[in-house]
Amino acid sequence: MAQLFFKYGAMNSGKSIEIIKVAHNYEEQNKHVLLFTPAIDDRDGVGWVSSRVGLKREAIPIDEDTNLFQIVKDSPIKLSCILVDEVQFVLKEHVFQMAKIVDELHIPVMGFGLKNDFQNNLFEGSKYMLLYADKIEEMKTICWFCEKKAIMALRVDENNQPVREGAQIQIGGNDSYYPVCRKHHQNPPL
């Protein structure tokens, strides 16, 4: 039975490498998948899922006008799974489209992303994935500064100092964010 999955974790928890692995596993069995990623994430160019360990995979970019349901419905090949990276950046309507893919087309959809931003607020996409997903799974990693589980993201500036204000979305990697526990989100040893 098809379900909507939300796999979330802090930075460096292996979300992008997991999505590439899932796609590979389906395709190794001659099953077809579609990968999507928000166009706003252009670290390695628009339309690419890439992990910090160097694996990359082309994906369909999502912008505010993208209709995921229509793309999947119009696919000329039988699809076995839909994979969405950086799902925190999608809009509420995109999450509804993912649920419609599951409910009407009977194709499982797996969304991978962050749950909360650097101020510990939910992203729009994450909020609606938490509300509508059939299954929610946390992907774990450890705090940059200790051995506790990382549950938040600490944004830092070019001088490696904590940033507490600003736009919710700022694309970046280890140069801009650290995965941290609650204690080190409040009091990072920088």
Q: According to the model, what pLDDT value does residue 159 have? A: 93
- DSSP letter for each residue of 66-90: --HHHHHHT-SS-EEEEEESSGGGS
Quickly list H helices, the chain.
Answer: 15-28, 68-73, 92-100, 124-132, 182-186
Contact present, 17 and 51 (Cβ < 8 Å): yes
* pTM of model > 0.75: yes
- DSSP letter for each residue of 24-42: HHHHHTT-EEEEEEETT--
| DSSP-based three-state secondary structure for 109 | strand
Q: According to the model, what pLDDT value does residue 169 have? A: 83
Q: According to the model, what pLDDT value does residue 42 have? A: 78
Residue 64 annotated as catalytic: no
Active-site annotation holder among 86, 104, 138, 165: 86
Domains of the chain are: 4-140 (3.40.50.300)
Residue 3 has φ and ψ, to the nearest 5°, of -140, 160
Where does residue 97 rank: exposed (0-12), middle (13-18), buried (19+ CB within 10 A)? buried
CA-to-CA dists, residue 44 to 79, 131, 136, angstroms: 26, 30, 28
Q: Which two tokens stand for residue 4?
A: 């909507």
Pick the closest to residue 171 from 14, 38, 21 (CA basis): 38
Q: According to the model, what pLDDT value does residue 84 have? A: 98
User: What is the residue type of 77?
Assistant: I
For each of the chain's 190 residues, which pLDDT tens digit applies?
Answer: 899 999 999 999 999 999 999 999 999 999 999 999 999 987 778 889 988 788 899 999 999 999 999 999 999 999 999 999 999 999 999 999 999 999 999 999 999 999 999 999 999 999 999 999 999 999 999 999 999 999 999 999 999 999 999 889 887 777 789 999 999 999 999 8
Q: Which two tokens stand for residue 81?
A: 């799974």
Please state, in angstroms and rounded to a whole number, the distance separating the CA atoms of residues 114 and 8: 5
